[in-house]
């Protein structure tokens, strides 16, 4: 694979600056007598300043605080020399305390080996002095002496060493990976020039001559390990410049045969090439021969230097399409004290055991959000279909509870999903389309989108002028950028989705790449092992089928994915072979060319912003996993030659990596890397392996209303309670309506809201809640393990124990959190009453059935958690309880109405139906039964008034056909009354 160039090899950052590649031996720092003398003097100085100064102050001048508290007397006393001495003594004590704090901070950082220590407020010179003394004291240790600049910088400000980071922070992640496509902006160039001038003035003569410097990673000593941050702090003056070192050495073969792939993973003995302005005693410029280093090490340096000269400049013929990593805005640094929005917690941040949760779903936030949203819609659809199929006792009341791998997949979706990110992406793209349409401008062709630090970067096929506000030009004319803060101000736009073919491929340098498959000028080929290719194809198909930034789409799967169709039956279709595909695509290509010619559009992008935007120009994406024959490959290449203009995209698998007509070539490795050498891309691929694919499909199959045995009684609720007097719970929570808890004291402090929310989540999931699901629900933007564990401890203590000593918050065999049976909600009671009335004792006892149904309807006080605070309980958007509860209330009302009508008690039936309509006003079944019950009273005027009310409620849409048919039966003259009223 061609190696990528780096732009950080010189002080100016120019990739063309020559560097001396002559290897030179590394000199390992050896402690001398002078080092021990410096350490001893530093120890004496620290002893005097930290211990001697307070001792002298206490014995000679006294303590800084007064012996008595009498503010009025202090104000009335006369000013004297003693008063000024007391004030001076106080400030000397404050200065000593500040210096001591600096010593403690610097000592802690040096001993723990954690980068740059924290800043003590207002202690610039004091902290610098403390740093020098601590470093000198630890000079005899492993590498602690190198934690600080030289003693010659003692009089400099702490901030002066950070000015050189401005230009480095403005560089794109990946340095010069795509230097052939990018030009630095004027401000960045000026900053680089200023940095270069400072570096040249401070650099030794050898650096000015272009000599290359190297650093050899030192072995650990005690708990201290070398890190790129510390190396940058010691030799570049600022730890934040560690990215420059990383980019200079990324993917170059180290002496042990491995490569640097993560900035946090370095090994002793590795060799790091340093930027030209690096300084410090541990760096060396290496001649060809040196008596200070072994021949083995010298050969290693020679071999390492040779690997740095062939960085690829990117490739492709003239007119080839390229994808570049966008220039990122520097994220706020953890040492500056500025806060930045916390991202969704990743598996690396939550390092606890994942309890078997699949990492592939945890690390795919857009895919997980799409799958989770589609699954919720499928379950709601299944419940409504079941509701329309029968009046009571239907099979679909309670959806099946996932188990095994399906349960793990569902939990991973809940943890990994980023619905807010999907919402912002969708609104941003539609808002851009609406703005361009308002300016009578066509949509630009977009090759890719990058999500970086919350910002959205669109990479255009060619410059398209200035973007509409609030979009801005990015690093060059082919990048349009939208900051997250601007995206959050977008509202929903009534326009077609402009780029529905965007699909996630993976991440690179904290940026997520979405490739626009329908805009590629030709075929995208994917090579690699069959199983690895299948994981990529499944991920692409699943995200395209369920993503939230598209309207309509056709996705044709060939050679794989027949079992994926349950994810989106209206989008996904499966063909048996390549012959069927070619026949289908030849016909569609002709049809689309003719349609474009008839409408006068040059591409589907211009059509999407026109009058026909909602009915035409949906993309058709072809995913062909099986390698085509040479003849078929030529036919596909001919079809794909004009595909980008027609809104058709092709992703084709190949075993050899050599596919005719392939515009972009990618490779998936066994380590999960997605490589595109000619595009300069190396991504952590987004995958959906076979096991996770089966688990996700199982979730959708279980949600299908046609799945499982036909007919039969309703599913048993997941948790039934004892509704007798003996079954009084220890803790009772009222969720249906305003949130109330009976049996527990109200927690004190700010954590009360979190504890209430956690309890509500557990009550709505009696089957158990994974700790990571609970964490992501309460803290959608991520939280550390210790905070989550502390909340669980408080929740455990708040719920307490049962009389037998067993805790009310427990952990089952799968690691999920469950509640004891003594903790009950009114929703549990509501389900249990209805189940007992329709499938239990109420089946054989009319009196029991009536009492149970009446008690159930009384429990309904309003919508679920009616008084929940704004901004909390966002996890309810993933739930189907908002659809389940109205259906359950409607079923109770229908059953109670039928109970009363059996005895011709129409008024009682009307009363029950009216109560149910307060919680389920959109349920057509309730209105139908209300019409029948009102007709049973024999009051025609009352029935006419109800019909008029229904007509008014229906508005411009008109009455549903079933309602019209029922009115024709019960009130034949209703149409004339409706016309008169109109």
* Residue scoring higher pLDDT (905 or 325): 905
The average pLDDT across 521-539 equals: 93
Q: What is the pLDDT of residue 555?
A: 95
Mean pLDDT over residues 463-483, rounded?
92
- For residue 171, pLDDT beyond 60: no
Residue 161 pLDDT > 80: no
Residue 887: which of 380, 377, 353, 234 has the closest Cα?
380
Note the pLDDT tens digit of each residue in 828-868: 999 999 999 998 888 899 999 999 999 999 999 988 999 88
Residues of the chain above pLDDT 70, percent: 72
Residue 704 has a pLDDT of 77
Greatest mean pLDDT among 11-20, 251-260, 704-713 lies in 251-260
Rg (CA), the chain: 35
Least confident window among 4-13, 49-58, 850-859, 958-967: 4-13
Looking at the predicted structure, is the pLDDT value of residue 254 above 60?
yes
CA distances from 734 to 144, 738, 861, 864, 898 (A): 60, 7, 9, 9, 28
pLDDT of residue 957 exceeding 60, the answer is yes
Mean pLDDT of 94-100: 83
Q: Which residue has the higher pLDDT, 561 or 280?
A: 561
d(CA 438, CA 339): 37
Q: What is the pLDDT of residue 15?
A: 36
The closest of 492, 517, 493, 523 to 503, measured between CA atoms, is 517
Q: Say what the pLDDT of residue 858 is.
A: 93
Q: How far is CA 694 from CA 622, 691, 700, 709, in A?
A: 22, 5, 10, 21
Predicted local distance difference test score (pLDDT) of residue 129: 81
Asked if 737 and 861 touch (Cβ cutoff 8 Å), the reply is: yes
Q: Tens of pLDDT along 638-649? A: 999 888 888 899
Average pLDDT score over residue span 378-403: 67
Whether the pLDDT of residue 316 is over 60: the answer is no
**pLDDT beyond 50 at 181:** no
CA dihedral sign of residues 476, 482, 485, 489: positive
Confidence band, pLDDT 50/70/90 cuts, at residue 305: low
Average confidence score pLDDT of the chain: 77
Higher per-residue pLDDT: 3 or 110: 110
**Candidate from 233-242, 396-405, 954-963 with smallest mean pLDDT:** 396-405
The pLDDT of residue 524 is above 50: yes
The mean pLDDT of 921-932, rounded to a whole number, is 91
Taking residues 222-226, report their average pLDDT.
59
pLDDT of residue 740: 94
pLDDT at 31: 54
* Least confident window among 9-23, 213-227, 791-805: 9-23
CA–CA distance, 574 with 947 (Å, rounded to integer): 48
Residue pair 631/489 in contact (Cβ under 8 Å)? The answer is: no
Q: Where is 216: in which H helix or E strand?
A: strand 213-216
Question: Could you give the angle at which helices 228-235 and 242-249 cross, rounded to 10 degrees?
Answer: 110
What would the mean pLDDT of 766-792 be, rounded to a whole number? 90
pLDDT of 602 > 90? The answer is: no
Task: Decide if pLDDT at 204 tops 60.
Answer: no
pLDDT band at residue 748, thresholds of 50, 70 and 90? confident
pLDDT at 878 over 90: no
Cis peptide bond prior to 470, omega within 30° of 0:
yes
pLDDT tens-digit series, residues 413-456: 999 999 999 999 999 999 999 999 899 888 899 999 999 888 99
Inform me whether the pLDDT recorded for 231 exceeds 60. yes
Q: Residue 318, SS3? A: coil
Mean pLDDT of 666-674: 93
**Would you give the DSSP letter of residue 152?**
G
Position 68 scores a pLDDT of 58
Half-sphere exposure of 843 (CA within 13 A, CB side): 8
Q: What is the pLDDT of residue 315?
A: 36
Q: Rounded mean pLDDT of 577-584?
A: 92
pLDDT computed for residue 85 by the predictor = 72
Among the listed residues 432, 434, 825, the one whose alpha carbon sits nearest the alpha carbon of residue 446 = 432
More confident site: 105 or 286: 105
Does residue 289 register a pLDDT over 70?
no
- Indicate the range of 231-235, 325-329, 687-691 predicted with least confidence: 325-329
Across residues 515-535, what is the average pLDDT? 92
**Of 538 and 882, more confident:** 538
* Tokens at 17, concatenated: 């600056």
Nearest CA-CA partner of 328 in 508, 142, 493, 570: 508
| Residue 155 CA: distances (Å) to CA of 134, 150, 159, 235, 238 | 16, 11, 12, 18, 17
Q: Which two tokens stand for residue 12?
A: 């100016």
User: 883: pLDDT confidence band, cut at 50, 70 and 90?
Assistant: confident
pLDDT in the model for residue 389: 61
Q: In this predicted model, what pLDDT tens digit does every residue of 795-823 receive, in sequence order?
A: 999 999 999 999 999 999 888 999 999 99
**Would you say the pTM of this structure is higher than 0.85?**
no
Q: How confident is the model at residue 146 (pLDDT cuts 50, 70, 90)?
A: very low
> What pLDDT does residue 40 have?
80
Query: Angle at CA 683, nearest 5°, toward 681 and 685?
Result: 140
Is 139's pLDDT higher than 90? no
Q: How does 762-795 read in b/e, with b if 16+ C-beta sit within 10 Å? A: bbbbbebbbbbbbbbbbbbeebeeeebeebbebb
């Amino acid at each position: 694979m061609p190696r990528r160039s780096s732009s950080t090899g010189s002080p100016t950052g120019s990739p063309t600056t020559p560097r001396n590649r002559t290897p030179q031996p590394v000199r390992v720092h050896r402690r001398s007598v002078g080092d021990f003398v410096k350490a001893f003097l530093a120890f004496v100085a620290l002893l005097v300043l930290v211990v001697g100064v307070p001792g002298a102050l206490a014995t000679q001048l006294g303590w800084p605080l007064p012996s008595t508290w009498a503010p009025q007397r202090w104000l009335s006393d006369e000013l004297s020399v003693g008063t000024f001495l007391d004030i001076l003594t106080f400030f000397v004590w404050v200065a000593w305390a500040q210096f001591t704090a600096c010593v403690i901070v610097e000592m802690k950082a040096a001993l723990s080996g954690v980068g740059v220590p924290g800043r003590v407020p207002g202690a610039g010179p004091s902290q610098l002095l403390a740093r020098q003394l601590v470093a000198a004291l630890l000079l005899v240790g492993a590498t602690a002496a190198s934690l600080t600049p030289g003693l010659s910088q003692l009089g400099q400000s702490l901030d002066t060493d950070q000015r050189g980071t401005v230009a480095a922070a403005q560089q794109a992640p990946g340095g010069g990976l795509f230097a052939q496509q990018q030009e630095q902006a004027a401000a960045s160039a000026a900053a680089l020039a200023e940095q270069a001038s400072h570096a040249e003035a401070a650099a030794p003569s050898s650096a000015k001559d272009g000599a290359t410097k190297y650093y050899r990673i030192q072995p650990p000593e005690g708990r201290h390990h070398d890190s790129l941050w510390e190396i940058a702090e010691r030799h570049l003056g600022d730890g934040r410049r560690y990215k420059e070192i990383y980019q200079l050495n990324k993917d170059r073969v180290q002496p042990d045969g491995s490569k640097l792939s993560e900035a946090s993973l370095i090994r002793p003995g590795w060799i790091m090439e340093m930027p030209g302005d690096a300084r410090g005693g541990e760096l060396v410029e290496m001649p060809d021969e040196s008596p200070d280093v072994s021949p083995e090490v010298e050969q290693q340096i020679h071999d390492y230097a040779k690997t740095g000269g062939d960085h690829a400049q990117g490739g492709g013929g003239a007119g080839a399409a390229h994808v570049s990593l966008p220039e990122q805005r520097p994220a706020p640094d953890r040492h500056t004290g500025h806060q930045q929005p916390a991202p969704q917690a990743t598996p690396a941040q939550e390092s606890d055991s994942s309890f078997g949760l699949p990492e592939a779903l945890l690390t795919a936030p857009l895919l997980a959000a799409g799958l989770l949203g589609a699954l919720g819609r499928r379950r709601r659809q299944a419940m409504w279909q079941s509701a329309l199929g029968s009046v009571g006792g239907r099979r679909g009341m309670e959806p099946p509870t996932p188990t095994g791998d399906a349960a793990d997949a569902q939990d991973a979706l809940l943890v990994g999903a980023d619905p807010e990110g999907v919402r912002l992406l969708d609104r941003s793209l539609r808002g851009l389309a609406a703005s361009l349409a308002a300016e009578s401008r066509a949509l630009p062709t977009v090759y890719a989108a990058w999500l970086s630090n919350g910002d959205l970067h669109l990479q255009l096929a060619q410059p398209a002028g200035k973007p509409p506000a609030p979009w801005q030009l990015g690093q060059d004319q082919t990048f349009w950028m939208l900051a997250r803060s601007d995206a959050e101000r977008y509202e929903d736009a009534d326009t077609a989705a402009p780029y529905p073919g965007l699909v996630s491929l993976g991440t690179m340098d904290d940026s997520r790449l979405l490739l626009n498959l329908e805009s590629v000028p030709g075929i995208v080929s994917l090579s690699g092992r069959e199983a690895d290719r299948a994981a990529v194809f499944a991920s692409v198909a699943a995200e395209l089928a369920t993503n939230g930034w598209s309207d309509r789409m056709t996705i044709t799967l060939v050679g794989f994915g027949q079992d994926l169709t349950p994810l989106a039956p209206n989008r996904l279709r499966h063909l048996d072979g390549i012959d069927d595909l070619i026949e289908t695509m030849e016909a569609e290509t002709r049809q689309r060319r003719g349609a474009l010619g008839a409408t006068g559009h040059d591409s589907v992008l211009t059509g999407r912003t026109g009058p026909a935007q909602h009915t035409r120009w949906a993309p058709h994406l072809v995913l062909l996993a099986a390698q085509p024959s040479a003849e078929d490959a030529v036919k596909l290449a001919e079809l794909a030659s004009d595909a980008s203009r027609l809104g058709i995209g092709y992703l084709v698998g190949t075993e050899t990596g050599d596919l005719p007509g392939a515009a972009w070539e990618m490779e998936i490795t066994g380590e999960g890397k997605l490589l595109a050498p000619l595009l300069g891309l190396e991504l952590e691929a987004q995958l959906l392996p076979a096991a996770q694919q089966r688990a996700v499909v199982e979730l959708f199959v279980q949600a299908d209303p046609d799945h499982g045995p036909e007919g039969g009684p309703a599913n048993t609720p997941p948790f039934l309670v004892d509704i007798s007097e003996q079954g009084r719970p220890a803790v009772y929570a009222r969720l249906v309506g305003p949130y109330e808890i009976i049996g527990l004291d109200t927690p004190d402090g700010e954590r009360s809201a979190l504890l209430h929310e956690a309890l509500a989540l557990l009550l709505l999931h009696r089957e158990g809640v994974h700790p990571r699901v609970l964490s992501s629900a309460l803290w959608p933007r991520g939280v550390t393990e210790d905070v989550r564990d502390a909340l669980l401890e408080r929740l455990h203590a708040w719920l307490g124990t049962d009389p037998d000593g067993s805790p009310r918050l427990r952990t089952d065999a799968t690691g999920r959190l469950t509640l004891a049976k003594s903790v009950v909600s009114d929703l549990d009671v509501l389900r249990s009453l209805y189940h007992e009335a329709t499938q239990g004792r109420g089946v054989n006892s009319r009196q029991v059935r009536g009492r149970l149904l009446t008690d159930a309807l009384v429990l309904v006080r309003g919508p679920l958690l009616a008084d929940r605070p704004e901004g909390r309980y966002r996890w309810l958007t993933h739930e189907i309880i908002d659809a389940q509860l109205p259906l359950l209330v409607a079923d109770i009302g229908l059953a109670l109405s039928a109970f009363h009508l059996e005895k011709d008690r129409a008024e009682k039936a009307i009363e029950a139906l009216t109560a149910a309509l307060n919680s389920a006003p959109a349920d057509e079944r309730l209105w139908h039964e209300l019409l029948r019950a009102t007709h049973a009273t024999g009051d025609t005027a009352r029935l006419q008034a109800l019909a008029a009310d229904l007509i008014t409620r229906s508005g411009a849409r008109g009455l549903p056909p079933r309602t019209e048919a029922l009115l024709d039966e019960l009130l034949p003259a209703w149409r004339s009354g409706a016309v008169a009223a109109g």
